[in-house]
Structure 1
Amino acid sequence: MEDATAAILRSFGYQARVTARSKDGGVDIILDSSTRGTIFVQVKQSRNKVDVEVFCELVGTMYVEGVHSGMLVTSSRFTGPTKHLAGRAQARGIVVELVDGERFLAALNLCARLRPPTLKDIELVVKSRVVLRDERIEI
């Protein structure tokens, strides 16, 4: 799942480097962004919801390395406490974007063009930062 995530992020314009598979401190991909600097990405393929321990591992590594932006990607979902903790961290200047399985698949569809994207697909990927007013989309 790490390689697929890196490919998706590259298709969105990031420079993505996949790290070694072990002893990575919870960092599976390192992104280099001209606007946001270094971004650490942790990827968890699981049927279970991702809990706060995984979030804390990523944030701890970010803190030690002086990185202020991160992304936590899962094939499943996040627990309520994990979402709450992400909000608290953001209020303190540590931004970790949570990408659940549904959003991951929508992003995969957009970059791979497996089928024409729906308005819902696009809204999932952009996380409501863009308001689309028309169902007709030309890609």
Structure 2
Amino acid sequence: MHELQQRTVEHVDDNIDESTHVAVCPICGWWKILRIEEEINGTGYFEPDPEEFWIDGSYRKNRLWGAYGSLKELDLVDIDLPIEDVRAYLVGRYEKRFELHPRLFEQTVASVFEDLGYISRVTAYTNDGGIDVILEGINNQTIGVQVKRYKNSIQVEQIRSLAGALLIGGYTKGMFVTTSKYQSGAGRVSAAAESRGIAIELIDSDGLYSALEIAQRNRYEYKNDPDAPFYDLDNIPMRLFN
């Protein structure tokens, strides 16, 4: 479970104490907001109940308002989905990654690495020479990325194929990004390729999710960014809970 960022705003008006509490996940965007109104010894809009008077004769009554957000369902085979929506959905429901259209997965990976500081470009969907995404990294180093949305483990031969594609394309570094794991021996092939001047970084399902979390967090700084959720507390629709 992701750590929620929280803040509380308090306001006092006549006999009504009001506090608004906001909690939001900076990674997946899930949120909740509660507003508590407490009437103290007043006649306001609360109708007193004799059983609610305190032993000292004072009277208090609370009313709780709230709203919360939830992740909407997405049709992950729709390649026209906004990438921001796809990323927020995946970070909350990562088990759905296998349903992503392969092209949408390539675009999502490119978007994640762009938020990690790279310049990214998605190649043609067909006849791409084995390279799905091209990254411009530190010192203008060009990185060729192959992306595979698989359930089964990536085989050693697929790493060798990427090494060949990198060599033909003139790359000195590559990445293999997958939604699954790597077959035993993939690390040895990667090390052998690096010894020959072509470094290949292997990013499995867990590594991809970690990159996605970091990229989502990099999207904004809570409390300071007007694009962050709940920057304007006054315009959030509320529901009366009691």
How many residues align structurally? 114
In structure 2, give the amino acid aligned to 1:49.
Answer: S
In structure 1, give the amino acid aligned to 2:135.
Answer: L
Question: Is residue 46 from structure 1 mapped to residue 150 from structure 2 by the alignment?
Answer: yes
Once superposed, which parts of structure 1, at least 4 consecutive aligned residues long, lie more than 3 Å away?
none
In structure 2, give the amino acid aligned to 1:45.
Answer: R
Of 59, 64, 81, 2:163 maps to 59
Q: Distance in 2 between matches of 1:100 and 1:30?
A: 18
SS for the counterpart of 1:35 is helix
- Which structure 2 segments of 5+ residues have no match? 1-104, 218-242
Q: Distance in 1 between matches of 2:160 and 2:125?
A: 19
Contact kept? 1:25, 1:58, Cα under 8 Å: no
Give percent identity, aligned residues only: 36
Q: Distance in 2 between matches of 1:34 and 1:58?
A: 21
Q: Distance in 2 between matches of 1:35 and 1:12?
A: 15
Matches within 5 A, 1:1-139: 1-35=105-139, 37-113=141-217
Higher strand content, 1 or 2? 2
- Cα offset, 1:26, TM superposition: 1.4
Q: Distance in 1 between matches of 2:193 and 2:213?
A: 30
Give the structure with higher Rg (CA). 2
In structure 2, give the amino acid aligned to 1:17.
Answer: R
Contact kept? 1:25, 1:57, Cα under 8 Å: no
Q: Distance in 1 between matches of 2:169 and 2:182?
A: 25
Q: Distance in 1 between matches of 2:161 and 2:118?
A: 23
Q: Distance in 2 between matches of 1:42 and 1:62?
A: 10
Per-residue CA deviation, residues 22-57 of structure 1 (Å, 9 max, x unaligned), is 111210001112425211000000000001222122
Query: What TM-score does the superposition give when structure 1 sets the normalisation length?
Result: 0.77
Q: Distance in 2 between matches of 1:38 and 1:104?
A: 20
- Cα offset, 1:92, TM superposition: 2.0
In structure 1, give the amino acid aligned to 2:129.
Answer: G
Contact kept? 1:77, 1:101, Cα under 8 Å: yes
SS for the counterpart of 2:139 is coil
Higher helix content, 1 or 2? 1
Q: Which range moves more in the overlay, 85-94 or 13-22?
A: 85-94
Query: What TM-score does the superposition give when structure 2 sets the normalisation length?
Result: 0.45
- Which structure 1 segments of 5+ residues have no match? 114-139
Root mean square deviation, CA, Å: 1.5
